[in-house]
Each structure stands twice: as C-alpha cells, then as structure tokens.
Amino acid sequence: MIGIINYRAGNLQNLQNALTYLGATSTLLDQPGDLANYSKLILPGVGAFGHAMANLKHYGFIRPIRRAAQENKTLLGICLGMQLLFDFSDEDGGHPGLGLIPGKVTRFDHEGLKIPHMGWNNANFTDSADPLVSDLRPTPWFYFVHSYACHPANPQNQLGVTEYGEPFCSIVKRNSLYGVQFHPEKSQADGLALLHNFIRLEV
C-alpha cells in the first residue's frame, strides 16, 4: 500500500485514481503518525512553497517525513512536493524546505519566457537504468505547471533534465527519495508508466 501525505495542499483525487487504475492501493494520510505504517509515501502539492511548508508544520508532518527519509523509506515528491524536498526556495522572499536534498528552488527569470511553464515538455534521463525510468521511452513527454525550478547542489542527484529557457532538474533522486516536477497522473501513458515503476520499486 502507498500512503499519500494529505497536508491540505492540492487535489489528490486524480493521483489516487491513477494509482487505482494501475492496480495499487493508496490511502490518504491525515495524521502524521500514520506515516510509520507505510514503506512507500507520496508527497504531492500545488500552490505556494511557503504556504505548503506552513501546512506541513501545522499538521505535524515535517518530523515524520524527515524520519521516513532517515529510515530509507521510498518517497516520491510530485510538483510542489518535489520542491519541498530541497533546502530552500526563493519564492515570496524565501522559505526553508525539508532539507532532504541539498539545493535550492528558483524562479524562471529569462526575458520573454512565459511563466508559469505550463503544458507538455520532455525529459532527458541522466541514468536510464534507474528503476523509476528504466523502461520508459528515451525522451518521454510529461505535463508541467510551475513557475519555479529545482537545482540540486550535487548534479548526480539529477535523474531527469528538461529545457525551458535553461536546463532544470525535472526528476531528482537521492538515496530512496525521488521527486518529479511534472504531474505524472496528468501525463497520460508516460506518466502512468512512471507511476507503475514507482509502485514496483523494491523497498
């Protein structure tokens, strides 16, 4: 079973529907103590970084998420959920993140670039043998909606790179932590293939 961390920052029904379609059982985790009962967790999210971190703190999820990472539980951050894994975001004057992946989150600022980055774009894998992406086609297309991009301090944590004015990390990995900047549950066949791989990851 997969636990979806529900810290009231996004519509989770599409994600649950996608997991159900793929044959997985998922549960919305409303209480921080519930994380200890799951070996696979998903941290979704839409909206503002600071508000999301405030919600994680308010509902008591920060320490259990960090503990899950220390215990090498498999965790997937989606969209804003990926950004929250990092040390810091400069959104709205700057906010610290969960500090699970060294690096920062910055706003797209290229002249003439439409923000948010919204729509379909592809990802190029830096390690096509990684089990999260191993059987996906070489340059899959995913659906993005975001104004800020992740930049890992260690380039080896970049599993996928996407171009939008500049290259940015669209898939991150550190130990048992993964993050995807796009919405796999809205990315049709390629997104479902990635979620299927997440379901099959050994824990």
pLDDT for 9 equals 86
| Spatial CA neighbour of 89 closest among 117, 122, 51, 142 | 51
Once rounded to an integer, what is the mean pLDDT over residues 145-171?
97
Once rounded to an integer, what is the mean pLDDT over residues 104-114?
91
Does residue 110 surpass a pLDDT of 90? no
What is the domain extent for residue 26? 2-200
Task: In whole angstroms, give the CA distance from residue 196 to residue 145.
Answer: 22
Does residue 124 surpass a pLDDT of 80? yes
Please write the tens of the pLDDT for every residue from 10-44. Answer: 779 999 999 999 999 999 999 999 999 999 999 99
Domain count, the chain: 1
Instruction: Name the catalytic one among 95, 117, 146, 183.
Output: 183
pLDDT-derived band at 109, boundaries 50, 70, 90: confident
* CATH, residue 59: 3.40.50.880
Instruction: Name the catalytic one among 91, 150, 185, 196.
Output: 185
Counting beta carbons within 10 angstroms of the beta carbon of residue 134, is it exposed (0 to 12), middle (13 to 18) or buried (19 or more)? exposed
User: Active-site residue 185, yes or no?
Assistant: yes
User: Active-site residue 79, yes or no?
Assistant: yes
Task: In whole angstroms, give the CA distance from residue 38 to residue 71.
Answer: 11
Phi and psi at residue 143, in whole multiples of 5°?
A: -100, 120
Does residue 148 surpass a pLDDT of 90? yes
User: Active-site residue 169, yes or no?
Assistant: no
Q: What is the pTM of this model?
A: 0.96
pLDDT for 10 equals 78
Instruction: Name the catalytic one among 79, 91, 146, 196.
Output: 79
pLDDT for 23 equals 96
Does residue 187 surpass a pLDDT of 80? yes
State both tokens at 142. 């995913």
pLDDT for 1 equals 87
3-state secondary structure 62-100: HHHHHHHHHCCCEEEEECHHHHHCEEEECHHHCEECCCC
H or E element, residue 7: none
pLDDT-derived band at 169, boundaries 50, 70, 90: very high
pLDDT for 181 equals 98
